[in-house]
């Protein structure tokens, strides 16, 4: 634990020197350390911090002062009212709407306590693809019951609102934000909500995106739609989080769309509107460059949206510790420039909330980084391993932490290295299908739109000779990304169409480098199995150990599937031989292509998927 003591001392030295807001706290050293705070919520966070230190065996030898870097630290649940969870891989929704408000599950308080333990202070209960029924009085009473449970844990409740609710449940002919009747309807609805839930946080809105209604349907801008809602909720202290996830069919480059649509609106949003922007410019890919919109809206409050649930990272089957990804984002995007941070939750009604035992580490890491983005991924992983897995030897603790730190890069390697993106099977986004071409699908939903592989090379030209997405980035990034010589290898095929035989900075040809990454990713998953098995005697929870061991086996098989399918497909296009270090494929390309990965065949009832494929 000595290393943790040193890290904590450094973190304390970097903290604020005074209790700065209602969530801040101070821990005074002594035989029985004392927590001081200006509010019950601050005291709760301080007590949780003290509990964490005690559990880790760290003594409080100096005064600790801590304040959150972000005032809003919010989980976005993509839960539907029928109990399903969009992009959820941990069972059904935690919220049992049929039983609420009469029956309140004890798991709700357990969930809130786990959020409070890492400083999460808000939860959006329902899917951004929202049903307007959540705003009916029947459901608002259910929401009130949850808010009453969460309040002692410092958590506010928020709701995703369907912009067309005045039409869908209000009987109005339109939802035009400049229609006075629409404004009155929203005003009455907000008043009703605050009468039930006085500390209601506000609305999250997905508008004019993927078929969702919005102000553009009525000839109005995103700013006009958001500002109308902001005006009716302002008297109650509420906020509007307006998602910037928009893209239009037929445009030259989907990666440019959010910037093109929202940048011209900078300065037009009210000061209780926060534009919520995905961390990358496309869609939660295993690796993306940061979204330029996050650093180029100086007249607008913004907040990054991270995905904790592993939609594009092997669902609940794969070990993918995401703190390195999020820390990578904050190395580009200053936390001081953001109004908050949101995370799409990976929580369901499974026995441990997240299905994969290691997926709980991502929930934990999100909260810890939302409080203090300067924390290192290793420190957070070490805390989590010590607190949750409790290995009985330092050697096993080190081995598990090392697995976690390596895992995200391994996933990138065996799925989409060097800037490749969106090579997934259609719809459910599990498994490789770079040849995917379902009838009637939009071009920008298909892998070929992104990889652009041909006989010459592979990659999306986003330089001035292509879509010019690089021009959306500030210096020095725009210049660096535009240069094939200077562009970091991890983004190379994101910004450039590179010849198969071109030499890259490592001295390898692109084809050799691509093969190297895929092979390395597979090797890492096999090493994870070896590392985890070596820890068996030091993990007391044998059920957990077996659960992780089974999932690591699935991950290793999936990694081979990804490597073989992608490389065979690209080889069919380029006609090149595989380097000697590439392990021969398990199946032929025709066999991989013959497997129907249509969404109707996607089932994952017990954490296993299409086992016959592997």
For 185, the token pair is: 């309807």
Q: What is the distance between the alpha carbons of residues 536 and 547, in angstroms, rounded to a whole number?
A: 12
Cα–Cα distance for residue pair 603/173, rounded to 1 Å: 40
Query: DSSP state, 275?
Result: E
Range 381-387, long-range pairs (CB < 8 A, 24+ positions): 381/321, 381/323, 381/405, 382/3, 382/4, 383/4, 383/52, 383/56, 384/360, 385/361, 386/1, 386/4, 386/55, 386/56, 387/52, 387/55, 387/56
Q: Which of 23, 305, 311, 547 is catalytic?
A: 311
Contacts of 381 (CB under 8 A, 6+ apart): 321, 323, 361, 365, 401, 404, 405
CA angle 56, 61, 64 (to 5 degrees): 80
Strand 122-124 relative to strand 498-499, pairing: unpaired
* Cross-strand partners of 613: none
What does the DSSP 8-state code read for residue 523?
H
Clarify whether 577 is annotated catalytic: no
Query: Which of 258, 306, 525, 544 has its CA nearest to residue 408?
Result: 525
Q: Which of 597, 596, 594, 586 is nearest to 563 (CA)?
A: 586
Collapsing DSSP states into helix, strand and coil, what is residue 497? coil
Residue 115: partners with Cβ closer than 8 Å, 6 or more residues away: 75, 121, 123, 153, 155, 367
- Please identify which of the residues 86, 283, 378, 398 carries the catalytic annotation: 283
Q: Is 485 a catalytic residue?
A: no
How many CB atoms neighbour CB 18 within 10 A? 9
Neighbouring C-beta atoms of residue 507, cutoff 10 Å: 8
**Residue whose structure tokens are 């002692």:** 152
What is the distance between the alpha carbons of residues 612 and 610, in angstroms, rounded to a whole number? 5
Residue of 222, 259, 261 lying closest to 242 (CA atoms):
222
Task: Answer yes or no: are the C-beta atoms of 214 and 261 closer than 8 Å.
Answer: no
Among the options 59, 174, 210, 596, which is catalytic? 210
490 in active site = no
User: 85 with 348: CB under 8 angstroms?
Assistant: yes
Instruction: Reduce the DSSP state of residue 489 to 3 states and report it.
Output: helix
Chain centre distance of CA 528:
23
Residue 577 neighbours by CB distance under 10 Å: 9
Q: φ, ψ for residue 473 (rounded to 5)?
A: -90, 145
Peptide bond into 476 cis (omega under 30): yes
Residues 371, 331: Cα–Cα separation, whole Å: 16
Closest CA relative to residue 36, chosen from 57, 3, 66: 66
Q: Residue for token digits 């652009």?
A: 452
Order the strands of the 34-37 sheet from edge to edge: 34-37, 25-28, 64-66
Catalytic (active-site) positions: 210, 283, 311
């Amino acid at each position: 634990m000595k290393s943790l003591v040193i890290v904590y001392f450094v973190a304390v030295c970097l903290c604020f020197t005074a209790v700065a807001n209602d969530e801040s706290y101070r821990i005074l050293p002594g035989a029985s350390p004392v927590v001081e705070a200006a509010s019950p919520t601050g005291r709760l966070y301080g007590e949780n911090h003290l509990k964490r230190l005690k559990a880790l065996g760290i003594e409080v030898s100096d005064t600790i002062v801590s304040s959150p870097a972000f005032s809003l630290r919010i989980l976005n649940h993509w839960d539907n009212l029928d109990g399903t969870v969009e992009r959820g891989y941990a069972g059904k929704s935690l919220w049992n709407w049929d039983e609420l408000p009469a029956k309140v599950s004890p798991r709700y308080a357990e969930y809130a306590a786990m959020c409070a333990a890492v400083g999460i202070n808000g939860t959006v209960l329902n899917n951004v693809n929202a049903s307007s029924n959540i705003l009916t009085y029947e459901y608002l009473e259910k929401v009130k019951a949850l808010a009453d449970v969460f309040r002692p844990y410092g958590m506010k409740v928020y709701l995703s609102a369907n912009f067309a609710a005045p039409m869908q449940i209000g009987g109005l002919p339109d939802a035009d934000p400049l229609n006075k009747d629409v404004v009155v309807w929203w005003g009455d609805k907000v008043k009703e909500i605050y009468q039930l839930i006085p500390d209601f946080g506000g609305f999250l809105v997905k508008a004019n995106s993927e078929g969702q209604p919005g102000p553009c349907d009525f000839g109005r801008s995103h700013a006009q739609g958001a500002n109308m809602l902001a005006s009716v909720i302002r008297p109650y202290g509420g906020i509007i989080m307006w998602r910037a996830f928009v893209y239009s069919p037929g445009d030259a480059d989907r990666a440019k769309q959010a910037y093109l649509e929202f940048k011209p609106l900078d300065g037009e949003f009210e000061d209780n509107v926060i534009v919520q922007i995905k961390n990358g410019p496309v869609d939660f890919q295993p690796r993306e460059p940061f979204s330029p919109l996050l650093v180029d809206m100086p007249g607008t409050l913004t907040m990054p949206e991270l995905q904790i649930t592993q939609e594009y990272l092997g669902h609940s089957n794969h070990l993918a510790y995401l703190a390195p990804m999020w820390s990578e984002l904050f190395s580009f995007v200053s936390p001081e420039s953001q109004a908050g941070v949101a995370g799409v939750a990976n929580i369901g009604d499974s026995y441990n909330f997240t299905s994969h035992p290691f997926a709980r580490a991502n929930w934990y890491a999100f909260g810890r980084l939302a409080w203090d983005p300067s924390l290192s991924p290793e420190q957070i992983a070490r805390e989590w391993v010590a607190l949750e897995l409790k290995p009985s030897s330092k050697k096993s603790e080190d081995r598990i932490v090392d697995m976690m730190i390596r895992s995200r890069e391994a996933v990138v390697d065996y799925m989409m290295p060097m800037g490749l993106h969106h090579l997934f099977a259609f719809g459910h986004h599990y498994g490789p299908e770079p040849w995917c071409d379902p009838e009637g699908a939009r071009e920008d939903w298909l892998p070929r739109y992104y990889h652009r592989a041909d006989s010459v090379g592979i990659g999306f030209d986003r330089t001035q000779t292509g879509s010019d997405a690089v021009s959306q980035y500030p210096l020095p990034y725009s210049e660096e990304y535009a240069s094939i010589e200077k562009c970091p290898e991890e983004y190379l095929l994101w910004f450039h169409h590179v010849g198969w035989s071109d030499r890259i900075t490592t001295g390898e040809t692109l084809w050799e480098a691509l093969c190297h990454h895929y092979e390395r990713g597979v090797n890492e998953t096999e090493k994870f199995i070896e590392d985890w098995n070596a820890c068996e005697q030091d993990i007391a929870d044998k059920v957990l150990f077996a659960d992780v061991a089974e999932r690591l086996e699935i991950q290793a098989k999936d990694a081979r599937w990804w490597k073989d399918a992608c490389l065979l497909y690209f080889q069919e296009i380029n006609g090149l031989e595989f380097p000697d270090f590439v392990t021969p494929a398990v199946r032929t390309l025709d066999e991989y292509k013959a497997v129907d990965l249509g969404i109707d065949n996607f089932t994952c009832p017990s954490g296993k998927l299409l086992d016959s494929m592997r």
